[in-house]
């Protein structure tokens, strides 16, 4: 349950103001089909985060537990810093020729999530907790908690959120997890 709840919180907070949330708003403004867009986000996130979680567990299996803890602790601290850098949508997504709203959303969201903060967080969380189902379910729920309101409320919701505070809270959560992991690796929490 710990892996699930932490994954929900970290990803939901980390996703606010992220480029994939901005993409969700753009898709909603362009297509006006919120139900299909949300379904596309769900499918893309499940596939992307399941693959990311599998990578995290594979990495955990390859490394000595103490080495993994040091790497994860440092990674969580780096993620904390990365969360403080605001995202922007580089290009307005173009409709994919001949594809419907659902397929376009799946493809664009899956690609936008590649190498994104929340995908990397999912890798690290799966390696840390060694629970693929809990991490993928939690990170997917976190993505949906952040993106469904963006699809339905668009710019109105995003402009009301104090993004610096939200990103600061997410960064703080990552920092706490990172410090705890490093203290555990050093044997101070054993």
- Give pLDDT tens digits for 47-92: 999 999 999 999 888 888 788 778 877 877 887 787 677 655 555 4
Sign of CA dihedral 11, 141, 132, 7: positive
The two tokens of residue 66 are 């103490």
Residue 5: the pLDDT is: 94
Q: Which of these, 58, 50, 38, lies nearest to 119 by C-alpha position?
A: 50
Instruction: Tell me the whole-structure pTM to 2 decimals.
Output: 0.74
Mean pLDDT, range 157-182, rounded to an integer: 70
Cβ(143)–Cβ(11) below 8 Å: yes
pLDDT over threshold 70, residue 17: yes
Q: Which of these, 1, 2, 14, lies nearest to 145 by C-alpha position?
A: 14
Distance CA(22)–CA(113), nearest Å, equals 12
pLDDT over threshold 70, residue 155: no
How far CA 152 is from CA of 24, 130, 144, 175, in Å, comes to: 9, 34, 12, 31
């Amino acid at each position: 349950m710990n892996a699930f709840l932490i994954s929900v919180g970290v990803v939901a907070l980390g996703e606010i103001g992220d480029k994939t949330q901005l993409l969700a708003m753009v898709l909603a403004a362009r297509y006006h089909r919120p139900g299909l867009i949300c379904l596309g986000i769900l499918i893309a996130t499940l596939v992307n985060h399941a693959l990311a979680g599998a990578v995290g567990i594979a990495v955990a299996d390859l490394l000595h537990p103490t080495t993994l803890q040091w790497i994860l602790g440092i990674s969580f601290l780096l993620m904390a810093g990365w969360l403080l850098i605001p995202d922007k949508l580089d290009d307005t997504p173009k409709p994919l020729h001949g594809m419907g709203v659902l397929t376009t959303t799946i493809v664009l969201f899956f690609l936008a999530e590649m190498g994104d903060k929340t995908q990397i967080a999912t890798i690290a969380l799966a390696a840390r907790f060694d629970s693929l189902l809990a991490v993928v379910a939690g990170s997917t729920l976190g993505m949906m908690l952040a993106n469904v309101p963006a699809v339905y409320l668009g710019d109105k919701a995003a402009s009301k959120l104090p993004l610096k505070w939200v990103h600061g809270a997410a960064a703080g959560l990552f920092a706490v997890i990172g410090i705890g992991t490093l203290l555990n690796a050093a044997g101070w929490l054993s």
